[in-house]
Every structure is written in structure tokens, then in C-alpha cells.
């Protein structure tokens, strides 16, 4: 029951955070191990999804605290990872594919907290309130992180598509 309901969310969060399928699988297992050993700490009045995603977020941040490790892991991302994961569908046009790749790679350049906010809100469809609860910060902070992150991605997209600017 827990696995069926929550594994997709944890796996997607881990995948979008690590940008590696193998790493995401390992991380998902680690998070579920942690979940089963911390279930005693869960109180009925808590929102279970938010509680579990907070546990996942803490695990991800602890695991990839060292920026070096994070970067070396995420260097392996490429078109293959995206295609295999179904994020680049064959029906996507060339331009659309290119933009997706640029945005995907640009996500790596965001800070951990901004990236997590974008992943939860934009990629996983959480609300501002849910994202704020999971990341344990006020809603205003989440809004400003998402605003900042999207603008940063837009600028990075502009840098990667100089030819379009000239047209």
C-alpha cells in the first residue's frame, strides 16, 4: 500500500534531483528503509505525504551535501538518460527537444533548495503550500525561490539559444 502510493513520488523526486536512474533507484530504497524505521515517529495529525517527502528531502540533502559529489554524479546526464526515462518523447520536434535538454541541464545549475522547490512545484505539481510544508519554509520563501529559479532557467536558456535572439 505505502509502496504503491508513494514510491512514484519518491522515485521521481530522487530522479529529478540526481538526474540518474541508477542513483534514483538506490536513493528510493534508502528512503524507504528510513521510512520503515521511522514510522514510529509519525503522528496521526501530520500530513503523511508531506512528512514522507520531508524525510526524502532531508535524506537527499544529507547525501549530496558535498557539492563535488553532487556535480560528479550529475555530469553523467545526457540525452540518453532523458530518452530512456521517457522525458524526451519521439514526437517532440527538434526545437522542443533542444529546449527540454537545455532546461533539464540548466536545472543542475540551480542551488539545492531552489532546485528542490522547482522540482516539487513545477515538475511534481505540488501547490505552494504543500511545497512549503515539505521544505519546512514559509510560502513566501517558496514563491520567491520558484520565481528566482525560473528566471535563472530563462536566462540560461537565452544563453544556450543565441541564434534565436538574432532572428
Partner 1 sequence: MSCQEITILLNDYLDGVLSPTQKQEVEAHLKECSTCQELLSNLQQVRVTLREFPQISVPPSLAEKLYQIPAKKKAKWPTWLGWLARPLPQQITATLAALSLAISFYTLLPNRAMLAKYLNQQLHLGYHHISSLWTQAESITVNIEKVSDSLKAPWQALKEEGKED
Residue 28, Cβ density class (10 Å: 0-12 exposed, 13-18 middle, ≥19 buried): buried
99 binds partner 1 (CB under 8 A): yes
Minimum distance of partner 1 from residue 45's CB (angstroms): 24
Residues of span 55-94 touching partner 1 by CB under 8 A:
85-87
Comparing CB distances to partner 1, the nearer of 4 and 68 is 4
Residue with cell 529559479: 149
- Which three three-digit cell numbers place residue 93? 520536434
166 binds partner 1 (CB under 8 A): no
32 binds partner 1 (CB under 8 A): yes
- Selected binder of partner 1 within 50, 110, 118, 142 (CB under 8 A): 118
140 binds partner 1 (CB under 8 A): no
Comparing CB distances to partner 1, the nearer of 61 and 101 is 101
Residues that bind partner 1 (CB under 8 A): 3, 7-8, 11-12, 15-16, 21, 25, 28-29, 32-33, 36-37, 85-87, 99-100, 103-104, 118, 122-124, 146-147, 150-151, 153-155, 157-158, 161, 165
Amino acid at each position: 500500500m505505502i509502496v504503491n502510493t508513494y514510491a512514484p513520488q519518491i522515485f521521481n523526486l530522487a530522479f529529478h534531483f540526481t538526474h540518474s536512474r541508477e542513483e534514483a533507484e538506490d536513493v528510493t530504497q534508502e528512503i524507504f528503509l528510513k521510512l520503515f524505521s521511522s514510522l514510529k515517529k509519525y503522528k496521526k495529525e501530520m500530513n503523511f505525504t508531506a512528512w514522507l517527502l520531508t524525510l526524502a528531502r532531508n535524506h537527499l540533502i544529507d547525501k549530496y551535501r558535498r557539492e563535488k559529489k553532487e556535480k560528479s554524479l550529475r555530469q553523467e546526464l545526457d540525452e540518453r538518460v532523458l530518452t530512456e526515462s521517457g522525458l524526451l518523447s519521439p514526437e517532440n520536434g527538434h526545437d522542443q527537444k533542444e529546449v527540454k535538454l537545455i532546461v533539464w541541464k540548466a536545472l543542475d545549475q540551480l542551488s539545492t533548495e531552489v532546485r528542490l522547490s522547482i522540482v516539487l512545484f513545477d515538475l511534481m505539481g505540488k501547490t505552494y503550500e504543500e511545497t512549503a510544508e515539505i521544505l519546512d519554509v514559509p510560502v513566501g520563501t517558496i514563491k520567491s525561490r520558484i520565481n528566482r529559479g525560473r528566471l535563472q532557467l530563462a536566462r540560461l536558456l537565452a544563453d544556450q539559444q543565441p541564434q534565436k535572439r538574432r532572428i
